[in-house]
C-alpha cells in the first residue's frame, strides 16, 4: 500500500512524464477549461471517471457522490449541473452507476443508524417504488444488480427533468445512463432501461414552462 508521502512523489513523476511526452500540456490546460462531457458517478474508488473512459485532464467535468445520486435538492450536484450546462456548454451528460455499489447494496439491507442512511434513503425509495421489478430477480446478487441499473435510470430522469435541463431544452443536451462493472472493467449503455422507465412513470415529468403559466 502506498504511503501518503509516496503520493506527492507519484505526482511529480507523473507530471514530469506527461511534460516529456507532451511539452506544454499543463500550460495549455491552465489557460482554458473546455470539457466535452459531464460525468455524474459514484464516489467508489474503483470507478475513476477519466481513467475508465480514457480521457486526459481537461476533458471531463466530474461530480461524484455515494451511489451516483441526483437528488432534487442537492445544491452541490445542481451547481455542477448548472455550471456544466450553462457555462461550459456541455452537450453530453453521463450518469454512471456500477455493479457492486455499496450504496445500492445497503439500500436492500436494514439501516445502520448512521448519517449515510439518510443519503441511502433515496435508493431505498427506488427499491420500494420498483419492488416488483427488483424482487422478480432470482437471487440477492441479481436483485442488487437490477437495483444498480434502476438507480442509474432514475438519476438520468432526474437530470432530464431538472429545471436546469428544462430551461436549456432548446440546446438538446443528451443525458446518457451507463453502468460499469468493477469485475470486468467494462461500461454498458443502459439507455433502453431508462426509456422503459419513462414509460412506467410519466408522472415524474414536470410541466413545460408555457403549460405551467410562466
Ligand atoms: Co457505488
pLDDT, tens digit, 9 for 90 and up, residues 18-66: 999 999 999 999 988 899 999 999 999 999 999 999 999 999 999 999 9
The span from the CA of 48 to the CA of 41, in Å, is 9
Q: Is the pLDDT of residue 214 over 60?
A: no
Predicted local distance difference test score (pLDDT) of residue 32: 84
Predicted local distance difference test score (pLDDT) of residue 199: 53
> Residue 11 is placed in which grid cell?
505526482
Residue 200: band (very low, low, confident or very high) from pLDDT cuts 50, 70, 90: very low
Predicted local distance difference test score (pLDDT) of residue 212: 47
Centre of ligand 1 to C-alpha 65, Å, is 8
CATH of the domain at 85: 3.40.1050.10
- Collapsing DSSP states into helix, strand and coil, what is residue 67? coil
Residue 157 belongs to what domain range?
A: 34-200
Predicted local distance difference test score (pLDDT) of residue 207: 54
- Residue 25 resides in a domain: no
Q: Of these residues, 77, 96, 101, 148, which one is catalytic?
A: 101
- Residue 19 resides in a domain: no
Residues 57-98: tens digit of each pLDDT: 999 999 999 999 999 999 999 999 999 999 999 999 999 999
Question: Above pLDDT 70, what percent of the chain?
Answer: 91
Taken as a whole, the chain contains a residue count of 214
Centre of ligand 1 to C-alpha 124, Å, is 14
Predicted local distance difference test score (pLDDT) of residue 161: 87
The span from the CA of 105 to the CA of 67, in Å, is 10
- Residue 127 resides in a domain: yes
Q: Is the pLDDT of residue 176 over 90?
A: yes
- Residue 24 resides in a domain: no
Contacts 24+ apart (CB under 8 A), 128-131: 129/201
Active site residue 101: yes
Residue with the bigger pLDDT between 112 and 84: it is 84
Active site residue 77: no
- Residue 159 resides in a domain: yes
Q: Is the pLDDT of residue 193 over 50?
A: yes
* Bridge partners for 61 per DSSP: 38
Q: Of these residues, 46, 72, 174, 205, which one is catalytic?
A: 46
- Residue 117 resides in a domain: yes
- Residue 97 resides in a domain: yes
User: DSSP state, 22?
Assistant: S
Centre of ligand 1 to C-alpha 52, Å, is 15
Q: Of these residues, 63, 77, 96, 98, which one is catalytic?
A: 98
Backbone angles phi, psi at 74, to 5 degrees: -85, 100
CB atoms within 10 A of CB 22: 11
- Residue 1 resides in a domain: no
Q: Provide the CB-side half-sphere exposure for 19 (13 A, CA).
A: 9
Residue with the bigger pLDDT between 208 and 87: it is 87
Q: How many folded domains does the chain comprise?
A: 1
Centre of ligand 1 to C-alpha 82, Å, is 24
- Collapsing DSSP states into helix, strand and coil, what is residue 54? coil
CB atoms within 10 A of CB 92: 14
Predicted local distance difference test score (pLDDT) of residue 192: 74
Residue 13: band (very low, low, confident or very high) from pLDDT cuts 50, 70, 90: very high
Centre of ligand 1 to C-alpha 150, Å, is 13
Amino acid at each position: 500500500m502506498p504511503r501518503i508521502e509516496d503520493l506527492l512523489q507519484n505526482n511529480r513523476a507523473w507530471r514530469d512524464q506527461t511534460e516529456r511526452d507532451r511539452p506544454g500540456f499543463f500550460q495549455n490546460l491552465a489557460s482554458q477549461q473546455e470539457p466535452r462531457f459531464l460525468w455524474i458517478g459514484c464516489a467508489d474508488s474503483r470507478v475513476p471517471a477519466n481513467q475508465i473512459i480514457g480521457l486526459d485532464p481537461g476533458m471531463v467535468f466530474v461530480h461524484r457522490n455515494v451511489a451516483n445520486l441526483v437528488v432534487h435538492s442537492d445544491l452541490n450536484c445542481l451547481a455542477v449541473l448548472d455550471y456544466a450546462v450553462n457555462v461550459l456548454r456541455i452537450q453530453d451528460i453521463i450518469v454512471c452507476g456500477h455493479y457492486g455499489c455499496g450504496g445500492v447494496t445497503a439500500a436492500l439491507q436494514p439501516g445502520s443508524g448512521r448519517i449515510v442512511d439518510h443519503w441511502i434513503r433515496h435508493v431505498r425509495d427506488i427499491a420500494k417504488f420498483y419492488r416488483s421489478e427488483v424482487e422478480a430477480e432470482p437471487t440477492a446478487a441479481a436483485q442488487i444488480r437490477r437495483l444498480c441499473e434502476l438507480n442509474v435510470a432514475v438519476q438520468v430522469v432526474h437530470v432530464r427533468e431538472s429545471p436546469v435541463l428544462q430551461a436549456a431544452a432548446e440546446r438538446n443536451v443528451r443525458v446518457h445512463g451507463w453502468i460499469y462493472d468493477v469485475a470486468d472493467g467494462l461500461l454498458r449503455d443502459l439507455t433502453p432501461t431508462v426509456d422503459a422507465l419513462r414509460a412506467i412513470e410519466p408522472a415524474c415529468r414536470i410541466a413545460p414552462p408555457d403549460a405551467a403559466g410562466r
